[in-house]
Amino acid sequence: MLKLIAILGVYFSCLSILAAEATTADAGPVVSMVTWNKEFRPIYPEAASYPRATALSDGRVMVAFAHPTSVGKAIACVVSGDGGKTWAGYRRICEHPTPVDLDNAFPLQLADGTVLVAYRRHDRKGHIFRIEVSSSRDGNQWAVRSTIATGTQGIWEPFLLPLPDGTVQAYYASEEGCYPDQRIEMRTSTDGGMSWGTPMTVAEKKGSRDGMPGMVRLGEQELLVVFEAQDEPPFRFVIRGVRSSDLGRTWSATRQLIYRPNHLVAAPWAAGAPSIIRLPDGRLMVSFQSDENNAFVAGDRRRDPTHSKYDYLWHTHFACVTSVDQGKSWTAPVHLLGGPDDPANWNALEVLNDGTVLTLSNHRGRIWVKSGVADGKPRR
């Protein structure tokens, strides 16, 4: 009898998830909006993590990342002049010995040519958390420019957004004053990242660790922030979005569901670490990492998300969904890389000046890139 009850429980859980999925925006057909090259290429020959790219005004693209050193960690960058086919020009932006932890590098070039790279610099032993910015005029010599935020509980994953008037917005995840929850905050700089204003809350919900913000500007005044959230049981993470209609001065209370894991068994599957871009024709693309393709085996630490030692990061694939209506609805996901026991983590998307789309991924201990061409025509 107990076995029959357990079977029926799983059956009805499956039905409830399938019924819910049939009514959500992520249930559309699989549509490839980008024609991808066949293979991923490495951009750095050694171990590295968390790649983020920015298109430079001279036509090149720069990728910043973190990597281990003999005494600790470093933030570094490489550049490509051929749309991501080859990479060179390694430069070390900053480095620190253990126990200082460097990661979450994010690059941006300002209108005057200055390149900023934001990153986290944490002394975990001393519980001192910082998000800093280093800058360079020539890409060779780097120096610390400012500190965006400090804390004693946790601040993570900076994202820099330039506005047409020269303002720079810095988005990040913060645990300050809300741990174990987490919120998305934003600070503004009007002097090219030399100083930063007071924090504004972009997204927050009691009981949820909102994190990993990604951002895109939809029009003259509208912004869309995507992030991972923990407010859709039984899932560990889902992808949500919030909007601003006044360039970030105020934010919607509506937390749009962009993607949730798709699995027949109700369990804490995850879809997290989103990145978002706007294609040349105006369509939107959101990438994420998910363990939804992992086979479920009850009680197995590698196959059961309810197991205390299960780690979804060992089973994630890199996928993306696309919207043709400014983010109101989304296609079903297109798989790009990785899967159970062969994870692809901390992925990102970037659109180059010529419309080329780059995908960046952490896979098998290294950083990989693949380029593609959007199928639609650019909007004039």
Going by C-alpha positions, the residue among 296, 314, 316, 315 that lies closest to residue 306 is: 296
Question: What average pLDDT does the segment 149-171 reach?
Answer: 97
Question: What average pLDDT does the segment 327-356 reach?
Answer: 96
3-state secondary structure (DSSP) of residue 54: strand
Q: What is the pLDDT of residues 281-339, one digit of tens each?
A: 999 999 999 999 999 999 999 999 999 999 999 999 999 999 999 999 999 999 999 99
Q: What is the pLDDT of residues 191-201, one digit of tens each?
A: 999 999 999 99
3-state secondary structure (DSSP) of residue 20: helix
Residue 253: phi, psi to the nearest 5? -80, -20
Q: Quickly tell me which residue has 């975990």 as its tokens.
A: 124
Mean pLDDT taken over the chain: 91
Q: Are 368 and 43 in contact (CB under 8 A)?
A: yes
Name the strands in the sheet holding 271-278, side by side, starting at the edge strand that comes first in the sequence: 271-278, 284-290, 317-323, 334-338
| Maximum pairwise Cα distance, the chain | 72
Residue 275: phi, psi to the nearest 5? -135, 145
- Which helix (H) or strand (E) segment holds residue 350: the answer is strand 344-351
Q: Which residues contact 179 (CB under 8 A, 6 or more apart)?
A: 153, 154
Q: Are 350 and 84 in contact (CB under 8 A)?
A: no
Going by C-alpha positions, the residue among 85, 80, 132, 87 that lies closest to residue 106 is: 132
Query: What is the predicted pLDDT for the residue at 5?
Result: 37
Q: Are 8 and 16 in contact (CB under 8 A)?
A: no
* Amino acid making up residue 359: T
Q: What is the pLDDT of residues 245-259, one digit of tens each?
A: 999 999 999 999 999
Q: Which of 207-216, 360-369, 371-380 is predicted with the least confidence, judged by mean pLDDT?
A: 371-380
Answer positive or negative: Cα dihedral of 46, 51, 56, 61.
positive
Band of pLDDT at residue 122, cut at 50, 70 and 90? very high
Query: What is the predicted pLDDT for the residue at 33?
Result: 78
Cα 169 to its chain centre, rounded Å, is 16
In this structure, what token pair is assigned to residue 42?
A: 């490495």
* Amino acid making up residue 232: E
Query: What is the predicted pLDDT for the residue at 1?
Result: 43
pLDDT at 81 over 50: yes
- Which helix (H) or strand (E) segment holds residue 174: the answer is strand 168-174
Bond prior to 274 in cis (omega within 30° of 0):
no
Across the strands, what pairs with 78?
63
In this structure, what token pair is assigned to residue 293?
A: 């393709």
CA torsion 43-282-21-202 (nearest 10°) is: 80
Q: Long-range contacts for 233-238 (Cβ within 8 Å, ≥24 apart)?
A: 234/266, 234/267, 234/268, 235/260, 235/261, 235/268, 235/269, 235/270, 235/271, 236/268, 236/269, 236/270, 236/272, 236/305, 236/312, 237/270, 237/271, 237/272, 238/271
pTM for the whole thing?
A: 0.91
Within 10 Å of residue 281's Cβ, how many Cβ atoms?
14
Q: What is the pLDDT of residues 4-13, one digit of tens each?
A: 433 334 333 4
CA distances from 226 to 28, 57, 71, 238, 311 (A): 19, 26, 35, 10, 23
Question: What average pLDDT does the segment 12-28 reach?
Answer: 40
Q: Are 312 and 270 in contact (CB under 8 A)?
A: yes
Answer positive or negative: Cα dihedral of 70, 71, 72, 78.
negative
Q: Which of 20-24, 162-166, 293-297, 335-339 is predicted with the least confidence, judged by mean pLDDT?
A: 20-24
Query: What is the predicted pLDDT for the residue at 374?
Result: 87
Query: What is the predicted pLDDT for the residue at 76?
Result: 98
Going by C-alpha positions, the residue among 295, 240, 282, 274 that lies closest to residue 349 is: 274
